[in-house]
Amino acid sequence: MSDFNRGFTSIPAGRADMAVDAGLRAFMLGVYNKVALGLVVSAALAYVTGSVPAVRDLMFTVTPDGRFGGYTILGLIVSFSPLVLLLGSRFIMKTQTASGTSALYWAVVACIGASLGVNVLVYTGASIATTFLVTAAAFGALSLAGYTTKKDLTGFGSFLIIGVVGLFIASVVNIFLHSAPMAFIVNVLGVLIFAGLIAYDTQRLKMTYYQMGGDRTSLAVATNYGALSLYIDFINLFQFLMNFLGSRR
């Protein structure tokens, strides 16, 4: 998994003429299509878990006026399942296959999508739609920047990954502190870090494509891991932006 999950031997970006490589464009299009389909599935699951009472009540507790009250045991399990799946896959999938990595991708998408139902309960539909469009526009611009830049982003990406670890620790600490200023700082850093990771992961995928040398099996695995990375970047950017742009019910 380390070959595709934010770890590759650096190839100077200027050595590859990305503009004329039809194979690269096809590879990247496959990644983006899988991300787009994953987002559609996530949106559908979020709507179901947040709006259909029979399903919603299995995942969340709701106040008498219809607002989010907390997670049920099942809701907590589903919310933490993506992390368990990602960590567990490092030990379970000794041999990476297209089918195995595809199953991992869709399992993560399903769990994240189901847990996103909390947004339907907390925020208005209009603000969710607006924030999604803002996130999509930002994602497109940042990914294009990562695709076209000739600058090697490897060092920048390593710094951002360390930032993700720090962000996670700060978020956990603030669960107990309930500090509004710290929450604001975490949200700002979250937007900046995942915006940077979108550009970095896009360039990483370009370099991965050239390393694969046209091997179809390896490219299929890389497509799944690439879609997973960009999907997670998108969802995290969306979540942090919701904290700024979302209008609560």
What are 185-224's pLDDT values in tens digits?
999 999 999 999 999 999 999 999 988 877 888 999 999 9
Residues 147, 85, 101, 18: what is their CA dihedral angle, to the nearest 10 degrees? 10
Residue 74 makes CB contacts below 8 A (sequence gap 6+) with 58, 59
CB distance 202 to 143 below 8 Å: yes
The residue among 93 and 52 whose pLDDT is bigger is: 52
Q: What is the pLDDT of residues 43-78, one digit of tens each?
A: 999 999 999 999 999 999 999 888 899 999 999 999
**Phi-psi domain of 9 (left: phi exceeds 0; alpha: psi -120 through 50; beta: other):** beta
CB distance 174 to 243 below 8 Å: no
Question: What share of the chain has pLDDT > 90, as a percent?
Answer: 80
- For residue 67, the model assigns a pLDDT of 85
Q: How confident is the model at residue 7 (pLDDT cuts 50, 70, 90)?
A: very low
Half-sphere exposure of 163 (CA within 13 A, CB side): 19
Half-sphere exposure of 40 (CA within 13 A, CB side): 6
Global pTM value: 0.90
- Separation of alpha carbons 31 and 224, rounded Å: 7
Mean pLDDT of 118-129: 96
C-alpha separations of 183 from 32, 76, 107, 113, 180 in Å: 31, 21, 29, 24, 5
Mean pLDDT of 110-138: 97
- For residue 143, the model assigns a pLDDT of 98
Q: What is the pLDDT of residues 145-186, one digit of tens each?
A: 999 999 999 999 989 999 999 999 999 999 899 899 999 999
The residue among 73 and 13 whose pLDDT is bigger is: 73
- Separation of alpha carbons 150 and 165, rounded Å: 27
Q: What is the pLDDT of residues 15-31, one digit of tens each?
A: 445 444 888 999 999 99
- Separation of alpha carbons 91 and 231, rounded Å: 22
